[in-house]
C-alpha cells in the first residue's frame, strides 16, 4: 500500500509499505480522508521521531476485525483516534483524562492516517473508534478530533451566555472556537490575528469584531465592548506575544484559556499581581478525549457546527507534499485534507 512518510515539512515521500497485519484484538481501517493538523507541521515537534507516517484526523471504513472484536464489523463508517485515556489512573478518575500518562505516551495507530490502510490496536479499538452517522461525510468527520479538542477547551473556559470572548489566533482551531462560542451563546465575539485573510474568516464564521494585536489593542477592545476588556480569552496562537496579549487584555474575573503554547523553553515574563487582585483564572487544555468526540459527532450530525465551509484544499495521497506545502502557508488555507478514494 501507499503511505505518506514524513521526513520534514519539505520532504514527505509517498512510499510503498506492507498493509499492517491485524491480531485478534485489532481493527483494520481503509482510510477515506485525513486532515493535515497544525501539529503535523510543527517541525520541531515532529522531526524528533521522523521518518514516520503522520495523520490523526481521519475517517474510514472498517475492512477487517480481529476475532475478539464484536462491537465493530466490516463496512462500518468510523472515526478513529491514536490515543485514548486509560480511565484507570488517578488523573483519569479525577477527570483530567488528557493528563493521563497512557494518553500522552501510547500510540495505537500503525502506521498513521496518511496511508491507505491503518491498523488500530489497544484501548483505541474500544474508546477511540466511533461509528459516524450517515449525516456526517467522511470529509466532515475529519473534524471530529480538532472539534473535540476545541469542545474540551470551551468546557474548561466555562463560557456563559452573553459573555465576551476574545480568540487570539484565527487559524483553524481559533475559527472552530469562534463557531463553538457562538453556538454556545457567547455575547460579543472578537477575533484577533495578524493575517487579514484570517480576520476575514473570523468575521465569516461568527466574530462580530476583528482586531490586529497592535499597541492600541486594549483601548480598541474597550471601544467595541462597552468599555470592558474580554470576559474569556482563548489563546490559539503558539507565541509568547499571543500569551502576553491575553494576560494583559483579560477583564476582572475573567478566564484565560491557553489552548496553544509557545515552543519549549520560550519563556513568558508576567507580573501576576493584577491577576491575583482581579480574580483571573488561567487554564490550559490539551488534546481531546472520548467525551469530546461524542459531543463533536452530535454537533456535526445535527449541524449545530458546520465544517465543510472550512475545507479549502483536498488532495490525493500522491500529492501529500503539496498538501504540506499548502498547510505551511497560513495565509492561503484553512483545512487541507488528504483524500484516499481508492
Ligand atoms: Zn490534530
Ligand atoms: Zn489514565
Start-to-end C-alpha separation, the chain: 11
Helical ranges in the chain per DSSP H: 43-46, 90-93, 101-105, 138-141, 144-157, 172-183, 196-204, 217-224, 240-248, 273-277, 290-301, 320-327
Q: Ligand 1 centroid vs 149 CA: distance in angstroms?
A: 8
Backbone angles phi, psi at 231, to 5 degrees: -70, -40
d(CA 137, CA 139) in angstroms, rounded, equals: 5
Q: Ligand 2 centroid vs 122 CA: distance in angstroms?
A: 14
pLDDT along the chain (342 residues), means of 10: 97 97 98 95 90 97 98 98 97 97 96 98 97 98 98 96 97 97 96 95 97 94 98 97 97 98 92 96 97 97 96 97 94 92 66
The helix (run of H) or strand (run of E) holding residue 80 is: strand 77-80
Q: Ligand 1 centroid vs 38 CA: distance in angstroms?
A: 7
Q: Ligand 2 centroid vs 278 CA: distance in angstroms?
A: 34
Q: Ligand 2 centroid vs 93 CA: distance in angstroms?
A: 7
92-133 residue pLDDT tens: 999 999 999 999 999 999 999 999 999 999 999 999 999 999
pTM: 0.95
Residues, beta carbon < 5 Å, ion ligand 2: 85-86, 89, 92, 100
**Is CATH 3.40.50.720 correct for 149-284?**
yes
In the chain, residues under CATH classification 3.90.180.10 are 2-143+307-339
Backbone angles phi, psi at 211, to 5 degrees: -140, 150
CB 150 within 8 A of CB 205: no
288-328 residue pLDDT tens: 999 999 999 999 999 999 999 999 999 999 999 999 999 99
Q: Ligand 1 centroid vs 90 CA: distance in angstroms?
A: 25
Calculate the alpha carbon distances from 262 to 42, 175, 235, 237, 265 in Å.
11, 19, 11, 8, 8
Query: Crossing angle of helices 144-157/172-183, nearest 10°?
Result: 60
Nearest ligand (C-alpha, residue 173)? 1
Nearest ligand (C-alpha, residue 144)? 1
CB 72 within 8 A of CB 27: yes
Q: What is the pLDDT of residue 342?
A: 56
Q: What is the pLDDT of residue 45?
A: 86
Q: What percent of the chain has pLDDT over 90?
A: 95
Strands 165-168 and 189-192: parallel
In the chain, residues under CATH classification 3.40.50.720 are 149-284
Q: Ligand 2 centroid vs 108 CA: distance in angstroms?
A: 15
Fold of domain 2-143+307-339: Quinone Oxidoreductase; Chain A, domain 1 (3.90.180)
Amino acid at each position: 500500500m501507499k503511505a505518506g512518510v514524513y521526513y520534514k515539512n519539505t520532504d514527505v515521500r509517498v512510499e510503498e509499505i506492507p498493509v499492517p497485519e491485524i491480531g485478534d484484538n485489532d481493527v483494520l481501517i481503509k482510510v477515506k480522508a485525513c486532515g493535515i493538523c497544525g501539529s503535523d507541521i510543527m517541525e520541531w515537534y515532529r522531526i524528533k521521531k521522523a521518518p514516520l507516517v503522520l495523520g490523526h484526523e481521519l475517517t474510514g471504513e472498517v475492512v477487517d476485525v480481529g476475532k475478539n472484536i464484536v462491537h465493530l464489523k466490516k463496512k462500518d463508517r468510523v472515526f478513529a483516534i491514536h490515543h485514548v485515556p486509560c480511565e484507570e489512573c488517578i488523573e483519569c478518575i479525577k477527570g483530567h483524562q488528557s493528563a493521563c500518562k497512557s494518553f500522552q505516551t501510547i500510540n495505537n495507530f500503525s502506521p498513521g492516517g496518511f496511508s491507505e490502510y491503518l491498523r488500530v490496536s489497544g484501548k483505541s479499538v474500544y474508546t477511540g473508534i466511533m461509528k459516524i452517522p450517515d449525516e456526517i461525510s467522511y470529509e466532515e468527520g475529519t473534524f471530529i478530533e480538532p472539534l473535540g479538542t476545541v469542545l474540551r477547551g470551551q468546557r474548561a473556559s466555562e463560557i456563559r451566555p452573553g459573555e465576551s470572548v476574545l480568540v487570539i489566533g484565527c487559524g483553524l482551531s481559533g475559527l472552530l472556537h469562534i463557531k463553538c462560542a457562538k453556538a454556545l451563546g457567547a455575547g460579543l465575539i472578537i477575533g484577533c490575528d495578524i493575517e487579514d485573510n484570517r480576520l476575514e474568516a473570523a468575521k465569516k464564521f461568527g466574530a462580530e469584531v476583528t482586531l490586529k494585536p497592535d499597541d492600541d489593542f486594549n483601548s480598541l477592545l474597550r471601544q467595541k465592548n462597552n468599555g470592558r476588556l474580554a470576559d474569556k480569552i482563548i489563546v490559539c496562537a503558539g507565541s509568547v506575544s499571543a500569551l502576553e496579549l491575553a494576560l494583559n487584555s483579560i477583564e476582572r474575573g475573567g478566564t484565560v484559556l491557553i489552548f496553544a503554547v509557545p515552543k519549549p523553553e520560550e519563556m513568558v515574563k508576567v507580573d501576576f499581581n493584577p491577576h491575583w487582585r482581579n480574580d483571573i483564572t488561567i487554564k490550559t487544555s490539551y488534546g481531546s478525549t472520548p467525551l469530546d468526540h461524542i459531543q463533536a459527532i452530535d454537533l456535526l450530525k445535527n449541524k449545530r457546527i458546520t465544517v465543510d465551509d472550512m475545507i479549502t484544499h483536498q488532495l490525493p495521497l500522491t500529492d501529500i507534499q503539496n498538501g504540506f506545502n499548502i498547510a505551511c502557508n497560513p495565509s492561503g488555507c484553512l483545512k487541507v485534507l488528504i483524500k484516499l478514494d481508492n
